[in-house]
Chain A
Amino acid sequence: MPAIPIAKAPQPAATNPAQIRNFCIIAHIDHGKSTLADRMLGITEVVEARNMRAQYLDRMDIERERGITIKSQAVRLPWRSGIDGNEYILNMIDTPGHVDFTYEVSRSLAACEGAILLVDCAQGIEAQTLANLYLAMENNLTIIPVLNKIDLPSAQPEKFAAELARLIGCQPEDCLRVSGKTGDGVADLLDQIVAQIPAPVGDANAPARALIFDSVYDSYRGVVTYVRVVDGHLNPREQIQMFSTGVRHEALEVGVISPEPLPSKGLGVGEVGYLITGVKDVRQSRVGDTVTTYQNPTKSPLAGYKDPKPMVFSGLFPLDGADFPLLRDALDKLQLNDAALVYEPESSAALGFGFRCGFLGLLHMEIVRERLERESGINLISTAPNVVYRVTLEDGKEFIVTNPSEFPNGKINSVKEPIVKSTILAPSEYIGTIMELCQERRGTMQGMDYISDDRVEIRYTLPLAEIVFDFFDQLKSRTKGYASLDYEELGDEEGNLVKVDILLQGEAVDAFSAIVHRDKAYSYGVMMTGKLRELIPRQQFEVPIQAAIGSRIIARENIRAIRKDVLAKCYGGDISRKRKLLEKQKEGKKRMKMVGRVEVPQEAFVAALATDADIEKIKAARKQD
């Protein structure tokens, strides 16, 4: 067997860089990356068969349940090449596959010399994989194309080998064929990693330089910082220094992941591992920063990364106002592991106290929300997501708007919104459908290419706001799930945008203000006023519900005055029952929100904002009560 017992394998800090191969796997969700990784752990025997479990490297419940990877991981795999018989150390750096986490992918790529492009040979390449592939090619990584799931009856390896060959400019027969499930071809793949991917190059005698590609908060150990050493050496008990801040820490522990943390005597050139300094805040170990030593610091840092920038904003409010402090604690805790999450307190007349949060994208938002609810047991309601707008008034004043209710009043000169460059891959029969959707969403077509005989790549620029609003769901449903989408930021563009307010009895309800394209303002107004008319109970007086752009009313509904609210019968046995009902209603009245003189049950606001999934959750919570 080409596996090497760990004790006999080349040891960290004492491994010749020529024996090291650093690689990552680029793949779409459910194309089998985690299964292949599991198989690699098994075949190299770093995890004993009896300890094996599915998706071994995915640490969070959410990762396992959703089958996605959120944080990157790095595992050291000893391997004896079946080609030359020599011992090697393969460092596998796991990468997330979702568009929201592109920045995580770029970190992983910078720590590698090569990438496996893993494609499900029953589905073909997906848009996000393509985007990550281009990213890897820009980073001059060696790409090994691999077709996975060859055991599936629906596999079409020839077709997709041709597709991959066309994309990366190799021959179809260069594509390896594996099955993560059966293990077929995996040993051969490991041999090819050794043969094709270049060994890392660095100067062992130069001042230490290591790139931080991830940092994770662990409640027992504090921050665990993942690094790739480029030059020099990192040793335990040594004073290390962060290049950007100059802050000094003692490296309490240095080690490798195998796949559990294994302390080592250090890390040398080309090696990938972790260090622990006892720091509690991940922001002190900034991803992209260069780690050097205090004794012998480097003068030139490694090229870092762009800081991830929140693109999508939404208000998160606890359903029960008393949970606000809990929510704050939960967000603080989550941020320890998620530097991309930003938030600040927000107060809404309709929803009470909460936080305005910034996310990388919709999936990031969903995951954050799910983790908050799961890890702290708070029921949350979120306002409709929006993007960042730059508003310039006629007097030249500029505002950055991340919350529609903060959209400035006064004469507006221009409103700019973020635009993205999107790539959609789909079977060619859906070209018309996709173009129609993109046109509806204010898209501009940039081009189209066939990537195989019956699959196309369609490129559009689109306002991000349109993507944030159910674009992906629409794309999936209109293409029977076959289309995939990737997008990247392209800057700001002026748009014909207006703020629509929803007024109850003349008072704006903050949670429902929205910034929309002028052509869609009317339909938003009609939709929202109609929804609220259904949800708000009749009051003592007639209540107008209006949608307005500035002072111009564009839609109106009326809640008519209540005429009947009485139980006709009240005799002996009814009295207790009725009193208890009143006692309950008295409590309910406390939960009413007042908008001017209008009494609105919080449930009505929640229902107006809720998605179908939210409504299910609320129902489930009620059942438990």
Chain B
Amino acid sequence: MLSFYVHIPYCIKRCGYCDFNTYTPSELQDGATLEIVSNDYIDAVLRELESAPKDQVPTIFFGGGTPSLLPANDLGRVIIAIKARNGLTADCEITLEANPDSVTQEKLQDYLAAGFNRISFGMQSAQPHVLAVLDRTHNPANVKRAVDMARAAGFESISVDLIYGTPGESLEDWRKTVTEALSLGIDHISAYALIVETGTKLAAQIKRGDLTMPNDDLMADMYLLVDQMCNAAGLNWYELSNWAKLGKECLHNIAYWQSANWWGLGPGAHSHVNRKRFWNVKHPTAYKQKLFSGESPIADSEDLTPEQLRDESIMLAIRMRSGLALSLLSEAAKDNLAAYKSSGHLEIIDGAIQLTAQGRLIADRLVREALA
């Protein structure tokens, strides 16, 4: 089996907190429109596809950037090509990341027709002042409209992404956001603590003192709140930052966390195939040039040693509800972790370590203990 990630490296505008590998049309070419810069992009992606293994495909995920900026036809070409070449499993999960502002009823119907069966909206917050700090363009009311349209179009799996810990956001603000998200009747929520990435506009604002990051205690309270509210609404945590109704977990992301084989198409995309990780050149122009001149777009790669593989599995498994099998741990690691059992940070269920909500908040620390 081989999952596919398809990177769409375009946005209309760069949000202030974002350091993803994405570009606005004018960044790529002076005065250009999206049509001009993306013109032959799908051609390049299809070229790259030719070098991937031909295993059957259980999940495809279109991320970005803003995949919903491209018409269903363009994205559909990739789905058709993968299907024709590798074949899809019967229940293959095909996800589209979408900006609530850039979708219409008609467009959503077209995506569904092109083969998408799961959609994830970047909601981030229901509070205008929080969205303003995040530098997001969408109107919070558009989220409900977009979700309703998606449901009307026939999407059965709908998710929203939320961000907490934005400068100026109170616990009450966050409670309203989560309440609003849960009221949408969706079946999946991803909620991420805001990370200030160096080089972003947000980082500069914080450095200048225009904005102040909330302290870790507030962040921790926000996490506990979303966890408790989601679980109460029947969306159970299945990974540190993800909650879903039973059977609605994102299979594509689970593939990452289980170290399955997956291939990333597009500039800067990472792949993992049989204990080897490799990644493409970052810039869309360089990516296209390589592929159109018959060269590999791979920038670099690493072969994972058994120790690195083990470290990765520990680091990933500990984040999941299914937990970290005790059999993966050294005696020293078990000793280290024993103290965290008595302090209520973890439980042992069926020979695996499962983190409590308090434990998930210090998961990286627990990983360091587990790696001993």
Q: Which of B58-98 contact A (CB under 8 A)?
A: none
Q: Please, what's the 1-or-0 string for B198-224, where 1 marks a CB less than 8 Å from any CB in chain A?
A: 000000000000000000110110010
* CB–CB A572/B262 < 8 A: yes
* CB–CB A572/B193 < 8 A: no
Q: Please, what's the 1-or-0 string for A525-542, where 1 marks a CB less than 8 Å from any CB in chain B?
A: 000000000000000110
Note all chain A residues with C-beta closer than 8 A to B272.
Answer: 572, 575
* CB–CB A585/B262 < 8 A: no
Q: State which of A563, A565, A569, A575 has its C-beta within 8 Å of the C-beta of B364.
A: A565
Q: Which of B275-330 contact A (CB under 8 A)?
A: 277, 279, 302, 308, 311-312, 315-316, 319
* CB–CB B269/A579 < 8 A: no
* CB–CB A564/B362 < 8 A: yes
Counting chain B CB atoms within 10 Å of each CB, which of A540, A572, A573 scores highest? A572
Note all chain A residues with C-beta closer than 8 A to B360.
Answer: 566
A576 at the interface (CB under 8 A from B): yes
Q: Please, what's the 1-or-0 string for B122-150, where 1 marks a CB less than 8 Å from any CB in chain A?
A: 00000000000000000000000000000
B270 at the interface (CB under 8 A from A): yes
Q: Please, what's the 1-or-0 string for A572-615, where 1 marks a CB less than 8 Å from any CB in chain B?
A: 11011011001101100100000000000000000000000000
Query: What residue in chain A is nearest B358 (Cβ atoms)?
Result: A563
A220 at the interface (CB under 8 A from B): no
* CB–CB B270/A576 < 8 A: yes
Q: State which of A563, A575, A585 has its C-beta within 8 Å of the C-beta of B216.
A: A563
A570 at the interface (CB under 8 A from B): yes
* CB–CB B312/A562 < 8 A: no
A568 at the interface (CB under 8 A from B): yes
* CB–CB A563/B217 < 8 A: yes
A579 vs B302: C-alpha distance when bound (angstroms):
12
Q: State which of A569, A575, A582, A585 has its C-beta within 8 Å of the C-beta of B195.
A: A569
* CB–CB A540/B365 < 8 A: yes
* CB–CB A572/B315 < 8 A: no
- Given the known inter-chain contacts A582-B367, A589-B368, please indicate yes or no for A571 contacting B361, CB distance below 8 A: no
Provide the main secondary structure of the chain A interface: loop
Q: How near does chain A come to B150, taking the closest CB pair, in angstroms?
A: 22
Q: How near does chain B come to A561, taking the closest CB pair, in angstroms?
A: 8
Query: What residue in chain B is nearest A569 (Cβ atoms)?
Result: B192
* CB–CB B257/A572 < 8 A: no
Query: What residue in chain B is nearest A538 (Cβ atoms)?
Result: B216
Note all chain B residues with C-beta closer than 8 A to A572.
Answer: 5, 256, 262, 264, 269-272
B371 at the interface (CB under 8 A from A): yes
Q: Which of A483-503 contact B (CB under 8 A)?
A: none
* CB–CB A582/B311 < 8 A: yes
Q: State which of A563, A571, A582 has its C-beta within 8 Å of the C-beta of B253.
A: A571
Query: What residue in chain B is nearest A563 (Cβ atoms)?
Result: B220
B238 at the interface (CB under 8 A from A): no
* CB–CB A579/B311 < 8 A: yes
Note all chain B residues with C-beta closer than 8 A to A571.
Answer: 253, 256
* CB–CB B312/A579 < 8 A: yes
Q: How many pairs of residues, A versus B, come closer than 8 Å at their CB atoms? A: 97
B343 at the interface (CB under 8 A from A): yes
Query: What residue in chain A is nearest B255 (Cβ atoms)?
Result: A572
Note all chain B residues with C-beta closer than 8 A to A570.
Answer: 240, 256-257, 315-316, 319
A576 vs B219: C-alpha distance when bound (angstroms):
25
A434 vs B148: C-alpha distance when bound (angstroms):
79
B152 at the interface (CB under 8 A from A): no
* CB–CB B362/A568 < 8 A: no
Note all chain B residues with C-beta closer than 8 A to A564.
Answer: 193, 216-217, 219-220, 223, 361-362
Query: What residue in chain B is nearest A589 (Cβ atoms)?
Result: B368
B160 at the interface (CB under 8 A from A): no
B36 at the interface (CB under 8 A from A): no
Note all chain A residues with C-beta closer than 8 A to B256.
Answer: 570-572, 575
Q: Which of A546-568 contact B (CB under 8 A)?
A: 562-568
Q: Which of B232-272 contact A (CB under 8 A)?
A: 240-241, 253, 256-257, 262, 264, 268-272
* CB–CB A565/B361 < 8 A: yes
Note all chain A residues with C-beta closer than 8 A to B279.
Answer: 573, 576
B1 at the interface (CB under 8 A from A): no
Note all chain A residues with C-beta closer than 8 A to B316.
Answer: 570, 575
A583 vs B360: C-alpha distance when bound (angstroms):
20
Note all chain A residues with C-beta closer than 8 A to B220.
Answer: 563-564
B339 at the interface (CB under 8 A from A): yes
A585 vs B268: C-alpha distance when bound (angstroms):
26
Note all chain B residues with C-beta closer than 8 A to A579.
Answer: 308, 311-312, 315
B155 at the interface (CB under 8 A from A): no
A286 vs B193: C-alpha distance when bound (angstroms):
69
A540 vs B257: C-alpha distance when bound (angstroms):
26
* CB–CB A569/B241 < 8 A: yes
Q: State which of B257, B302, B364 has its C-beta within 8 Å of the C-beta of A567.
A: B364
Note all chain A residues with C-beta closer than 8 A to B45.
Answer: none
A569 vs B311: C-alpha distance when bound (angstroms):
17
A589 vs B333: C-alpha distance when bound (angstroms):
13
* CB–CB A563/B362 < 8 A: yes
* CB–CB A568/B339 < 8 A: no
* CB–CB A540/B364 < 8 A: no
B108 at the interface (CB under 8 A from A): no
* CB–CB A573/B268 < 8 A: yes
A540 vs B337: C-alpha distance when bound (angstroms):
11
Note all chain B residues with C-beta closer than 8 A to A562.
Answer: 216, 362, 365
A563 vs B269: C-alpha distance when bound (angstroms):
33
A573 vs B5: C-alpha distance when bound (angstroms):
11
Note all chain B residues with C-beta closer than 8 A to A541.
Answer: 343
A572 vs B302: C-alpha distance when bound (angstroms):
14
- Given the known inter-chain contacts A564-B219, A576-B270, A579-B312, please indicate yes or no for A585 contacting B368, CB distance below 8 A: yes
Query: What residue in chain B is nearest A597 (Cβ atoms)?
Result: B339
Q: How near does chain A come to B38, taking the closest CB pair, in angstroms?
A: 21
* CB–CB B343/A566 < 8 A: no
Q: State which of A566, A582, A583 has its C-beta within 8 Å of the C-beta of B240.
A: A566
* CB–CB B264/A573 < 8 A: yes
Q: Please, what's the 1-or-0 string for B334-360, where 1 marks a CB less than 8 Å from any CB in chain A?
A: 000001100101000000000000101
Query: What residue in chain B is nearest A567 (Cβ atoms)?
Result: B364
Q: How near does chain A come to B202, taking the closest CB pair, in angstroms?
A: 15
Q: How near does chain A come to B173, taking the closest CB pair, in angstroms?
A: 18
A579 vs B318: C-alpha distance when bound (angstroms):
13
A568 vs B302: C-alpha distance when bound (angstroms):
24
* CB–CB A565/B312 < 8 A: no
B363 at the interface (CB under 8 A from A): yes
* CB–CB A573/B367 < 8 A: no
* CB–CB B361/A566 < 8 A: yes
A585 vs B362: C-alpha distance when bound (angstroms):
14
- Given the known inter-chain contacts A566-B361, A568-B241, A578-B315, please indicate yes or no for A573 contacting B269, CB distance below 8 A: yes
Q: How near does chain B come to A581, taking the closest CB pair, in angstroms?
A: 9
Q: Which of A288-312 contact B (CB under 8 A)?
A: none
* CB–CB B268/A583 < 8 A: no
A541 vs B223: C-alpha distance when bound (angstroms):
20
Q: How near does chain B come to A328, taking the closest CB pair, in angstroms?
A: 32
A583 vs B368: C-alpha distance when bound (angstroms):
9
Q: How near does chain B come to A605, taking the closest CB pair, in angstroms?
A: 20
Q: How near does chain A come to B220, taking the closest CB pair, in angstroms?
A: 4
Q: How near does chain B come to A220, taking the closest CB pair, in angstroms?
A: 52
- Given the known inter-chain contacts A565-B362, A566-B361, please indicate yes or no for A582 contacting B339, CB distance below 8 A: no
* CB–CB B343/A540 < 8 A: yes
A540 vs B311: C-alpha distance when bound (angstroms):
22
Note all chain A residues with C-beta closer than 8 A to B270.
Answer: 572-573, 575-576
| A-B CB contact pairs (8 Å), 19 listed | A540-B340, A540-B345, A540-B365, A562-B362, A562-B365, A563-B216, A563-B220, A563-B361, A564-B361, A566-B193, A568-B192, A569-B241, A572-B271, A573-B264, A575-B272, A575-B316, A576-B277, A582-B311, A582-B368
17 A-B pairs besides A565-B362, A570-B240, A573-B268 with CB distance below 8 A are A540-B340, A540-B362, A540-B365, A562-B362, A564-B219, A564-B220, A566-B363, A566-B365, A568-B191, A570-B256, A570-B257, A570-B316, A572-B256, A572-B264, A575-B277, A576-B279, A582-B367
9 shortest interchain CB distances as A-B pairs: A563-B220, A573-B270, A568-B192, A564-B216, A568-B193, A565-B365, A566-B363, A565-B362, A564-B220
